[in-house]
Each structure stands twice: as structure tokens, then as C-alpha cells.
Amino acid sequence: MTGKVYIVGAGPGDTGLLTIKGLKALQLSDVVVYDFHINAQILNYLKNEAEFIYAGKRGGHHEMTQEEINRILVEKAKEGKIVCRLKGGDPFVFGRGGEEAEVLAREGIPFEIIPGISSAIAVPAYAGIPLTHRDLSSLFTVITGNEDITKHETRINWKALAELDGTLVFLMAVRNLAAITEQLIRNGKDPDTPAALIRWGTRADQITITGTLRTIPEIIKEKKINPPAIFIIGEVVRLRDVLLWYEKKPLFGQRIVITGKESEAYEKLELLGAEVIDFPTIEITPPEDWTGLDNSLSRLQTYQWIIFTSSSGVRYFMERMLEKGLDVRELKGVKICSVGIKTEEELKKYGILVDLVPEEFRAEGVVEAFKRLYNGNLEGIRILFPRADIAREIIPERIKELGGHVDAPVTYRSIKPETHAKRIKRFLKEGRITMVVFTSGATFNNFIELIGQEAKEFLMDVKIAVIGPVTKKVVESAGLKVSIMPEKATNEALVEAIIKTVQK
């Protein structure tokens, strides 16, 4: 049984530039063979059981040779698997996609090419440089910049390029930049022609350097710019000062790591120019034993209250009720306490309205709310508290002190996921992370375990944002400083606090 190979262009870096068709192909795939220059955030969209194979291919340092990549594609497809060959930019623009497709065709393996947005087009746009303009350029030419210019035989007609009255775009040109400019000037190109080099275009650490054909090699040398970058030559570079937009975004330059599960709440940060990296250090799973919750479900009518402190608690509680043949009618007469907006929203999905929302979204706030409601005496009050396995004991202990009865069955578990931390660790080491967000003590502790011994040292150099005082206490007890904590313990409030802090 033969599978199929999708050769997919992932775009230049911004995950939003991945096409819908490319995303659908990714989500179908059993195996993904990916390169260095893709934004690894894209891999978060794939099904968990997919096999990931890193091909490398960065600036002359290849994890796998092209022949090895070809062999892997053929082997996996012949095993009957759906394979995605995920490449930066567009696979047919200096991406060797044509070579890989030829091999598949010879082997009789079905394949599809899904174009991506080439860095040749997207990166100049993010730098405010249009490749064409009615008054300045009627054509653009894309040229490889990594050809050995010193060799006697070359496929590049330097004289023709120098004479073109349009925009020249060189990809992979950093190491040969001085030789490229020398060849163009020698063949008649005006040395004062505007030029720009853009490194890590469409990403949070995008750098744009402008000059002229004559001056830019020395500028690049002084600033010690390394690949990946693209080189643009032409009058359109002059428009950058007018058309610059991406680097003006209020959160441009911020690369923020989110360690919780609810990353959707942080989309506003991306809209304002930040690059948000999902790195969940906590995974929510069912309990190992349902006995405790099942016993409580069998006597629901004996409780006056149910306390939900998370949307996960609501979801697992309701799903277990349905599995046991129960529905919301069993909750008639039982009052509901909800901690947090997200928890309340999750309850509404099941048609359940909330009777009590504590002012303070943490365990202490729940206890205070019940103290006020019953004037400090909970004698005869029976409460069900479906909880996580690692939840603090504040609620059960304090309620019992006030005379109440609490059953607190484990309803879900918070565990450390099996995840690869190599990329995040490298980014931290290189100083490319500006902020890390922790939404619970567990996300912090798991982060430290996943990153390793150097984690605390790395975190000394970045801003740390937390969702509430309990998490703050855990972080500070490790000897680290918390820079951001909102007054209200919600993801939305945390996002606003981050925006306010960064924009100061």
C-alpha cells in the first residue's frame, strides 16, 4: 500500500502566513519532515501521534543530506503513510521541492505541491518595501545568493542584472554580499542604488538594514549580521520610511512563551506584533481512578453546593456524569459556585447558571465568599469540590474549620507533557525570549524540569508574568522576580497587564 507525500511551503516565519490548504495537509499527515527555517509553532497544529523528522538544512549545516531526505520520503510513503515535507517559504523557489518531487515521480508515489508564501515576497512587505511600484519598478528578479561567485562558470548573467531597471532580490546572500555588490557595480550598476538587508523577516526579531550598493557590505560587516537574510536592491527601498508598518506595531520585538493550555486568550498579543510561542508545560488528563467522583455523583442530591475552580473541572465532571447516565437534571436544587470567568462560561455551555462568583479568583476568595454567605458558620452545609490531583487543600480545610462538610474527589489530573524543549532552551540561551507567562505553580515547576538546570539562570534575563499571587509565590520562592501580575486572576487581565507593561 502506497501513501502520499504533500510538499508544503510553510511561509517565511510568521505562522499566520501558512496557507489554509497547507494546514489541512499537515493535519492529515502521519509523518512530517521539516527544515530549520520553518517556525516550529506550526507543528503545534498537528495531530499528537504524528512522527516528526528534523531535516535541518540551515546555512550550510545539514542534519540530513538531500539524498537522505529523499530516501525518508520514499520509505515512509511506501509504508502507506501520509507524509508532509514541510519547507520554509515556497518549495519551488530555491527550496529543492522540484528535486524531491522528481524522486517521488520516479518511484510512482502520489504527491501534491502546496505552494507557500516565498520570503522573496513576504519579507520585503514586512519591511515596508514593495517589490514593484508604478513610479519606481515594473519588474523584480529573484536570484540565489549562495552560488560560488569565484568559480569560472556561472549561470548568473551579472551584466544583464546590472542593466535591469527594476528590483533585485537575492536569497541566501549574506555570506556573498560583498562579492554580489562588487559584481553588480563592476558590470555597471549605480553604486548609489538603494539597498536593504532583512534578517529573520516576518518574525519578532526582524532586523532591517538599509544603505546603498556601495555602503551596505561594510554596514553588514560592522553589525555582524548572520543568515538567514534576504538582500534587496532598487529604488523601491526608498519607500521603507513611508510604508514601514510591521516594526511599528506596539509589541514588535516581543517573543512571549505561554506555558498554559489556553493560548487563545493571548491572540491579542500577536495582533499587536508579538510572537507568541505555545509551550504548554501542563497537560490535563482524566484521573487514574474515578471511584471518588462516582461515589459523589451517586449522591448529588445530598449536596447544597458544588464548587468549580476551573473549566477543566467542569468539563471532566459533566462528561463523567453523562458516562454514568446522568444529566443536568440531577443538579436540581444544588447551587453552583464558579471561580473565574472561563469556568462560568464553561458551565453555561451545559445550560448551568452560577449562583456564586467569589470576588477573588483563588481558593482564599472561595472561603471568604462562603464565610460572608453563612456568617462564618457552615454547620450542616455539604459541599462537593471536584478538583485536580494537585489542587491546594485550602478549600477543604477551611470549609471544615467553619463547620461544613466537603467531598473533594479527584476529577482530573495535571501532568507534565511529553514535549521537546530543545528549541525553547536554545531561544532562551540566545536571548531571543523576552517574556515567559506562567498560569499556575505547576506550569512553572514543569517548565523548570523540562528546560533543565539552566532554566532559572535563563529566566533571570526575561520578564516573568503570572496570573495570580499563588503562582507568584511559587516563582519567587525559586529566587526569581515576577514583573507582571494583574489585579484580577484571568487570562484576559494578564494580557492587558502585559500590553500595559511593554508599552511603557
Give the residue numbers annotated as catalytic, written as ranges. 35, 57, 172
- H or E stretch including 256? strand 255-258
CB 9 within 8 A of CB 91: yes
Residue 379 grid coordinates: 454547620
Query: Hunting for cell 495582533 — which residue is that?
Result: 271
d(CA 193, CA 189): 8
Measured over the CA atoms of residue 211, residue 216, residue 218 and residue 224, the dihedral's sign is positive
Backbone angles phi, psi at 306, to 5 degrees: -125, 130
Backbone angles phi, psi at 139, to 5 degrees: -155, 160
Residue 289 grid coordinates: 481512578
Whole-angstrom CA distances from 433 to 227, 287, 424, 461 are 19, 34, 8, 9
How many CA atoms lie within 13 Å of 267's alpha carbon, on the beta-carbon side? 5
Query: Under 8 Å CB-to-CB from 278, ≥6 apart: which residues?
Result: 41, 44, 258, 263
Exposure b/e, 259-297, CB count within 10 A at least 16 = b? bbbebebbebbbebbbbbbbbbbbebeebeebebbeebb
Q: What is the DSSP letter of 166?
A: S
- The candidate with the shortest Cα–Cα distance to 480, out of 458, 502, 452, is 458
d(CA 425, CA 446): 14
- H or E stretch including 424? helix 422-429
Residues forming beta bridges with residue 141, ordered by sequence position: 168
Query: Under 8 Å CB-to-CB from 378, ≥6 apart: which residues?
Result: 370, 399, 402, 403, 404
CB 32 within 8 A of CB 52: yes
Query: Under 8 Å CB-to-CB from 143, ≥6 apart: which residues?
Result: 156, 161, 168, 169, 170, 171
